[in-house]
Amino acid sequence: MPKKSEKSPKSRSTNDKKGNKDNSELIETVEKEMVVNIVETPDALNNDNNNKKAESKPPDKVSDSNTGGVEEGGGSGAPTPAATPTPQPVVVTPPQVLDTIKTSELKDLLECPVCLRVPRSSPIYQCARGHVVCKDCKPNVNTCPQCRDVLGNIRSLVSEKVLEKLPTPCKYSDSGCEVELMRSELPSHEKECQYRSVNCVDLACQQSVSLCKLLNHIDNDHETEDFVRVEGGEYSSHFIVNEEDFNKDIMWISDQLHFDQKYFYRECCRSNKGLWYIWVYQLEPGTSGQDYTCEISVLSADHEEMLTCKSRPLSLDYTKEKVAESGRGLVFTDSTARLFWQDNKVRYSVKIKRKN
Ligand SMILES: [Zn+2]
Ligand SMILES: [Zn+2]
Ligand SMILES: [Zn+2]
Ligand SMILES: [Zn+2]
């Protein structure tokens, strides 16, 4: 590699003129080619330069120059470049040194012929002829999709090693994420990826949705009455609770609070173990989830008794089950619920505040 780059036209032409005849045949041949290209160049350039000078100089001065009498024929008038048989300058392009391989080319090599994707992880399998199949497609094929040879458990270690050197697409690429990162950096991105799947904020919906498509899902796939939509960060209302609800695994309609240009969802459910959970989700808090606090209270009709919990809004990565495990939000027993249960209602309030 350094060899090639040293062969800049100037330095080579001097050496070649001295005549380096002791080299092996191969080198000689190569150098002859170089000579053809290179020796011409300085002359050509010189001539070209002199011609240019000649255009701006009086003719007699031109004849003094070492270009020989080409221009002398011009005699009385200024030399006309068109009449001069100007040697065409040969542009010598140094041989391109390919010390980098394009990532896209490597990816093409690794592409699984079944799913047409670059495998996200090892193992990568190959047939006896070396055609590769990714580990996800392997269980679905008995023969090599390219040559129909039997596909055993031979791994393509080279492919696996090359794969390690390549950036990997985010696991939510199917949902639209275009981020590609080195393997070690991927987990932290995927944890916060806007395209990651979360459960719908309607606890009864049970649909998994891309985070950034959740608002669309709420607008397009839900009835208006599936949510109570509130402008602002404070809301008071009540859950309708009947006697039989104290035996049920049950959830109540969520409130959507639109506050500070962000969306918050008050959730409430009762588990069949007799525990009540009320908490607030924030749609895409990411790191900004720490900028808000929410205060959730259940209160008596006369507001003289109250049970309050102040916490941070939860990210949608907390499933209903995980919320229960985390201990976050307002949690109370059936006995407490009955204390606040008046006229078939359990009254509550939510206050979301921005920190600072
Ligand atoms: Zn595949
Ligand atoms: Zn094959
Ligand atoms: Zn992503
Ligand atoms: Zn939904």
Q: Which ligand is nearest to the CA of 227?
A: 4
Ligand 2 center from residue 133 Cα (angstroms): 9
- Shared domain check, 315 and 257: yes
* 310 pLDDT higher than 80: yes
- Shared domain check, 349 and 270: yes
Ligand 3 center from residue 175 Cα (angstroms): 9
Ion ligand 4 — residues with CB < 5 Å = 200, 202, 205, 207
Instruction: Calculate Rg over the CA atoms of the chain.
Output: 39
Ion ligand 2 — residues with CB < 5 Å = 127, 129, 131, 144, 146-147, 149
CATH number of the domain enclosing 216: 2.60.210.10
- Shared domain check, 348 and 255: yes
Q: What is the value of pTM for the model shown?
A: 0.65
CATH number of the domain enclosing 116: 3.30.40.10
Task: pLDDT band for 66, please (50, 70, 90 cuts).
Answer: very low
Ligand 3 center from residue 109 Cα (angstroms): 24
Strand pairing partners for 311? 294
Distances (CA, A) of 302 to 276, 277, 346: 22, 22, 12
Who's near 206: CB < 8 A, 6+ residues apart? 199, 200
Ligand 3 center from residue 89 Cα (angstroms): 53
For the beta carbon of residue 117, count every other beta carbon within 10 angstroms: 16
In a domain, 38, yes or no: yes
Domain count, the chain: 3
Query: Which residue range(s) make up the domain with 45?
Result: 2-74
- Shared domain check, 48 and 141: no
The pLDDT score that the predictor gives to residue 356 is 75
Half-sphere exposure of 31 (CA within 13 A, CB side): 19
In a domain, 270, yes or no: yes
Ligand 2 center from residue 150 Cα (angstroms): 8
Task: Give the model confidence (pLDDT) of 191-218 as tens digits.
Answer: 999 999 999 999 999 899 999 999 999 9
The pLDDT score that the predictor gives to residue 264 is 96
Structure tokens of 218?
């709420």
- Shared domain check, 141 and 59: no
In a domain, 350, yes or no: yes
- In the block, residue with structure tokens 């001539």: 47
Task: Give the model confidence (pLDDT) of 248-279 as tens digits.
Answer: 999 999 999 999 999 999 999 999 999 999 99
Task: Tell me how far apart the alpha carbons of residues 30 and 95 are, in angstroms, rounded to a whole number.
Answer: 12
Task: pLDDT band for 293, please (50, 70, 90 cuts).
Answer: very high
Task: Give the model confidence (pLDDT) of 122-138 as tens digits.
Answer: 999 999 999 999 999 99
Among residues 37, 56, 74, the one where a domain terminates is 74
Among residues 58, 74, 90, the one where a domain terminates is 74
Distances (CA, A) of 58 to 43, 77, 167: 23, 9, 65
- Mean pLDDT value of segment 139-153: 91
In a domain, 196, yes or no: no
Task: Tell me how far apart the alpha carbons of residues 310 and 293 are, in angstroms, rounded to a whole number.
Answer: 7
Average pLDDT, the chain: 79
The candidate with the shortest Cα–Cα distance to 181, out of 169, 192, 195, is 169
Ion ligand 1 — residues with CB < 5 Å = 112, 114-115, 134, 137
Task: Give the model confidence (pLDDT) of 152-202 as tens digits.
Answer: 899 999 999 999 888 988 999 999 999 999 988 999 999 999 999 999 999
The SS3 assignment for 254 reads strand
The pLDDT score that the predictor gives to residue 291 is 86
- Shared domain check, 271 and 336: yes
- Shared domain check, 239 and 295: yes
Cβ(302)–Cβ(253) below 8 Å:
no
In a domain, 188, yes or no: no
Q: Which ligand is nearest to the CA of 223?
A: 4
Q: Which ligand is nearest to the CA of 209?
A: 4
- In the block, residue with structure tokens 């916490």: 311
Task: Give the model confidence (pLDDT) of 71-124 as tens digits.
Answer: 444 444 444 444 555 666 666 666 665 677 788 888 888 999 999 988 888 999
Structure tokens of 31?
């150098």
The pLDDT score that the predictor gives to residue 287 is 56
Task: pLDDT band for 288, please (50, 70, 90 cuts).
Answer: low
Ligand 1 center from residue 135 Cα (angstroms): 7
Q: Which ligand is nearest to the CA of 119?
A: 1
Ligand 3 center from residue 317 Cα (angstroms): 15
More confident residue, 145 or 69: 145
- Shared domain check, 53 and 115: no
In a domain, 204, yes or no: no
Q: Which residues of 331-343 are buried (b: 16+ CB within 10 A; e: fewer)?
A: bbebebbeebbee
Among residues 166, 182, 197, the one where a domain terminates is 166
In a domain, 174, yes or no: no
- Shared domain check, 310 and 216: yes
Task: Tell me how far apart the alpha carbons of residues 161 and 304 are, in angstroms, rounded to a whole number.
Answer: 68
The pLDDT score that the predictor gives to residue 262 is 92
